[in-house]
Amino acid sequence: MIPIQYSLRNLIRRRANTLATAFGIALVVFVSSAAGMLAAGIRHTLMASGEQDSAIVLRKGSDGELSSVLEEELAAQVLSAPGIASSPNGRPLGTDELLVVAGMKRIADGNIATVSIRGITDTSFALRSGLSFIEGRAPRPNTSEIVIGKQMRGRFQGLEVGQSFELTRNRPVQVVGVFACNGSSYESEVWADANLTRNAFGRAGLSSSIRVRLKSANAFDEFRTALVKDRRFAMEVYRERTFFEKQSEGTATFIVAIGTLISIFFSIAAMLGAMITMNASIARRRREMGTLRALGFSRTSILFAIILESCLLAVAGGIVGAAVSTALGFVKVSMMNYASFSEMVFEFRPSAQTILSAVFTALLMGLFGGLLPALRAARIPAASALRD
């Protein structure tokens, strides 16, 4: 076999070409792994909101909490259905909530952006197992105290502990706490008392959804059947996780689709770049190849040496690109979530899988880019090449 140093030295020898090609591959890997990380971030944020042993009830025909209207009395009927876990005081663990959106002034640019406001009861906190206060405390029920998700803090006017603002005209509220919740979309919401929210937004007697904690993940079918059977209600029952998966579909699919498409096109361009570089390098080394053949190296080992050279080139670029892309982990993206029509903060989520698959893509680019030139190199006959 031809030693690996041979391939490595060749790359170092033609520094300028190697760098240009590797840099191209690094850019490709950077873009494709960034898209992968953002899609993973969106999925994480939207899916972390859903728990396997919780269920959410919406009005039939609605495509999300925002377009679902339920009468307040329905909550009591839903909570009497079978399959619901009990709270420590023996009551069924569930509550109705109201979701509305309101325009608030963004501090960064002074523009008005839409923010989700959730009308909650004290059971709401018990239903989110990962929720914890990172500053301040929980609001007292039936007061104008509100709490905010940690991603909202400092982004909009008035959203900071100790500050107060008007939810709607003449409805002042005070921020008493900031909560974190596993990086879920709740962290981009403002939580206020349900009745206060109803009155402020002219929704007296109405809710958007009812959430319950099930006895176990298996109790879902029992719970759902009982509600769907009752034709008076016209309600849709989802496992919470399924519901959020459905919500994240649109945005994440868009990012993944456009990310994949771009990655494919980018890869083709970069692969051609690798092919050109390798091909030129072979053309210049005809005599050298002839010598290797004359020394007794087989065609196969030459083939492998050239492919190895090309793969080393690509993987070096790939590792640089992937490494730089992980720096995006510190970047937060604030964007419109079309499912909830409000501004939500997403993070790039680096994972071993995205990075490995990015480096693997680079490897493929090197492999295919090097294949043709390698075949060409292997076919060079010893005798004639030496005479060149």
Partner 1 sequence: MSLSKLAVRGLLRNRFRNIATMIAVSVAVLTFVLLRTVITSWTTAADYAPKDRLVTHHKVTFVMPLPLRYVELVRQSDGIRLATYASYFGGQDPKHDRETFVSWAVAENYLEIFDEFSVSAQQKQEFLADKTGAMVGDVLANKLGWKVGERITLESGIFPSAPDSPWTFTVRAIYTASSSSVDRSTFLLHWSYLNDALPQARQNQVGWIATRTTDPKRSGQIAAALDQKFASDEVQTQTQDEKSFQASVLAASSTVLRAIATISLIILLIMSLVLGNTIGMSVAERLREFGVLRALGFESRYLVTLIIAESSLMALVGGLLGLALSYPLIERGIGVAIEQNMGTLLPHFKISPQIAAMALIGVIVIGGLVAILPAYQATSLRVSEALRKVS
**CA 378 to chain CA mean position, Å:** 45
Q: Minimum Å distance from CB 103 to partner 1?
A: 6
Q: Minimum Å distance from CB 93 to partner 1?
A: 25
Q: How many angstroms separate the CA atoms of 67 and 83, rounded? A: 26
Task: Give the residues across from 235 on adjacent strands.
Answer: 59
Decide: helix, strand or coil at residue 348: coil
Nearer to partner 1, 111 or 216 (CB): 111
Contacts with partner 1 by CB under 8 A lie at: 16-17, 20-21, 23-24, 27-28, 30-31, 58-63, 66-69, 100-103, 109, 111-114, 168-169, 201-202, 231-232, 234, 254, 258, 261-262, 265-266, 268-270, 272-273, 275-277, 279-280, 333-336, 338, 343
Task: Please say whether the beta carbons of 314 and 365 come within 8 A.
Answer: yes
Nearer to partner 1, 53 or 193 (CB): 193
Residues 6+ apart with CB under 8 A from 67: none
CA angle 140, 144, 145 (to 5 degrees): 50
Nearer to partner 1, 8 or 27 (CB): 27
Nearer to partner 1, 221 or 230 (CB): 230
Q: How many angstroms separate the CA atoms of 187 and 367, rounded? A: 44
Nearer to partner 1, 185 or 213 (CB): 185
Q: Minimum Å distance from CB 153 to partner 1?
A: 19
Please return the burial class of 231, using the count of CB atoms within 10 Å of its CB with bins 0-12, 13-18 and 19+. Answer: exposed
Q: Minimum Å distance from CB 187 to partner 1?
A: 17
Q: Minimum Å distance from CB 211 to partner 1?
A: 16
Decide: helix, strand or coil at residue 346: strand
Q: What is the CA radius of gyration of the chain?
A: 29
Q: Minimum Å distance from CB 86 to partner 1?
A: 29
State whether the Cα torsion 309-351-342-209 is positive or negative: positive
Q: How many angstroms separate the CA atoms of 261 and 59, rounded? A: 37
Q: How many angstroms separate the CA atoms of 129 and 287, rounded? A: 70
Nearer to partner 1, 90 or 388 (CB): 388
Nearer to partner 1, 338 or 360 (CB): 338
Q: Minimum Å distance from CB 132 to partner 1?
A: 28
Tokens of 153: 């803090």
